[in-house]
Amino acid sequence: MENEYEISSSSLSFVSFPAGDTNLSGPEIEANPDYLSLSMLSSSLEKLRLDPGLGYADAEIVVDGVPVGVHRCLLAVRSEYFQGLFSKPCNDSQGNGSNDKPRYHMAELMAPTRGYVGIEAFNVVLNYLYTAKMKPSPPEVSTCVNDQCDHDACRPTIDYAVELMYASSTFQIQELVLLLQRRLLYFVDKALIEDVIPILVASFRCNSKQLLSHCIQRVSMSDLDSVVLEKEIPPEVLPEIKSLRNESNQGSGSALPQEDLTDHQKGIQRIHKAIDSDDVELLELLLKESRVTLNDAFALHYATAYSDPKVVKKVLDLKLADLNLKNSRGLTVLHVAARRKVPSILGALLENGACALETTPDGQTALCICRKLTRPKDYEDIQKGKESNKDQVCIDLLERGMKNVSASGRRLVRSEVTAADLHMLGYFESRVKMAAMLFPAEARTAMEMAEADWTPLYKGLALKGSWGTGNSNETACMSAERLQQKLQALRKTVEMGERYFPNCSEEIVKFIDDMPDAMYLEKGTEEEKESKKRRYMELRDDIQRAFYKDIAETNVPASSSLSQASSSSSSSSPRNRIRNRIKLKV
């Protein structure tokens, strides 16, 4: 859109007339005949718009399948957009012969901005064009069904304002655009970061630069990861957000040298691409050939947010993903599904063991999230004998999920998921244990950087004849929550090792493949034992060489290893100690 609207400090009170009784009276009105005349004119025009029995409407605009009668001469006078629209021939009409009425479709009118405008928002904008009065926001579409919400910045409130923005910007009603920009600026500062994205998209499409700039600032300072940004932010805006993030990191001293993606990051990208292409066979092949797991890639989170429900079901059928795993923002896959509001996805997750009681960092359950996203119109206005709205179905599913978990008195954990967790626990323990044997100071620092509690985990890694779990009975009896905490700590530690010591990490994996457990060296004939010991020494030497290769590739003398870094001033964090000693490969 060519027009750019900037927010001024001038008063816009003239667009906020009372929306109740339009038959105004009183001393102020009687003392001002001009005001009285304008009020009467406004009331008459509103009656003309609302009373179809008058029969003077000469065109129709179809919104949500509902034809709305309009008067072309009036709209053309009030809006240059409609003046241009009505001056062109219309291919669609309603009627016969001389009574043909041009018919326009809202979806086609909104095509340039790709915005959606519902019947309620259109009626408010249309009423303003006729009367110069802003009617109150209809609560059935501008509030949510969460009883605890003050509806100050919930998603339905924002979506309704965005619809008004699309309509007023498309129809070139400048004073209304300015009023809505002010309202949306308020939402940007107050709303959840996920709910700022539709405001950012609308401001970009409507060419509202001041509002867009404010949205970009908020998003750049948020904890939204790169996957969300790539998927949901317009590509024209994304470079500016990335630039602001880089500047912020440099200013805080936390910026790291940017080189090619690591093998781990490439593995995650390949998994996401396989999900995007609905190629589960490729996904299974990638999982077999790569050390990157579904949980490493948060693949189920990704599929739930962006894929077809059939793809989500296929990923679930692999039985390799933890349904209650929380991503970097503290969200489980059920929280992500609650925002998307697809009943088949929510039902599949709950059926496979997703816990409805899990909360976000700010204490919201999936049910609470879903309620805050649902309008009363989509939940309460269900006519008898008609199919329930999908929003209502989603809330009902989550309510039943909450009741089922509460009734059981404990978190439901499926045996398949637990088995996968135990397998990964043994694998990660093997790698961390081997690193702790050969490079104790470096392994300890990696644990600290992973923000894991080192002491209890280190004790649990004491060598007891296996590179894997030291106490199988303890693991079997371990609560689901404790198991997940330990698994996450070990996973983060392994990721840190792969990030800062990629060559060494590869050699450790080879070592574990060739030496299944500590007792492996004591099995077989004397000749076989001797051969195994020689192989053991070769593998150990390979690990040592790989370690010093990693040190050399970061241009740090071998004497300046992480063990020395870990003994430096206690005032430095582990992350800063490593950053100061080594140029990290990321």
Q: What is the pLDDT of residues 418-464, one digit of tens each?
A: 455 666 677 778 778 877 777 776 676 666 656 554 444 444 443 33
Q: Is residue 433 situated within a structural domain?
A: yes
Among residues 255, 277, 302, the one where a domain terminates is: 255
Q: Can you give the pLDDT at residue 390?
A: 86
362 touches 422 (CB < 8 A)? no
Tokens 């199919």 label which residue?
Answer: 387
Q: Is residue 291 situated within a structural domain?
A: no
Beta bridge partners of 93: 102
Among residues 204, 228, 255, the one where a domain terminates is: 255
Q: Can you give the pLDDT at residue 206?
A: 96
Phi/psi class of residue 253: alpha, beta or left (left: φ > 0; alpha: ψ in -120 to 50)? left
Domain membership of residue 507 as a residue range: 415-581
Tokens for 299, please give them: 């693949």
Q: Is residue 520 situated within a structural domain?
A: yes
> What is the distance between the terminal CA atoms of the chain, rounded to a whole angstrom?
41
Q: Is residue 468 situated within a structural domain?
A: yes
Q: Is residue 117 situated within a structural domain?
A: no
Among residues 223, 255, 287, the one where a domain terminates is: 255
Please enumerate in sequence order all residues whose Cβ is within 8 A of that of 579, keeping only pairs 6 or more positions apart, or say none: 256
Q: Is residue 482 situated within a structural domain?
A: yes
Q: Can you give the pLDDT at residue 28?
A: 55
3-state secondary structure 88-119: CCCCCEECCHHHCEEEEEHHHHCCCCCCCCCH
Residue among 580, 492, 509, 495 at smallest CA distance from 543 = 509
66-70 and 101-105: which strand pairing? unpaired
Below-50 pLDDT ranges, the chain: 1-2, 4-25, 95-98, 253-259, 383-386, 409-418, 453-478, 555-586
561 touches 435 (CB < 8 A)? no
Q: Is residue 340 situated within a structural domain?
A: no
Q: Can you give the pLDDT at residue 99?
A: 56
Q: Can you give the pLDDT at residue 481?
A: 59
366 touches 358 (CB < 8 A)? yes
Interval 106-135: pLDDT, tens: 999 999 999 999 999 999 999 999 998 889
For the chain, how many structural domains are there in total?
A: 2
136 touches 143 (CB < 8 A)? no
* String of DSSP letters for 181-219: HHHHHHHHHHS-HHHHHHHHHHHHHTT-HHHHHHHHHHH
Q: Can you give the pLDDT at residue 276?
A: 94
pTM listed for this prediction: 0.65
Q: Can you give the pLDDT at residue 34?
A: 75
Tokens 């290893």 label which residue?
Answer: 561
Q: Is residue 498 situated within a structural domain?
A: yes
Q: What order do you get walking across the sheet with 93-94 strand by strand? A: 66-70, 59-63, 101-105, 93-94
366 touches 330 (CB < 8 A)? no
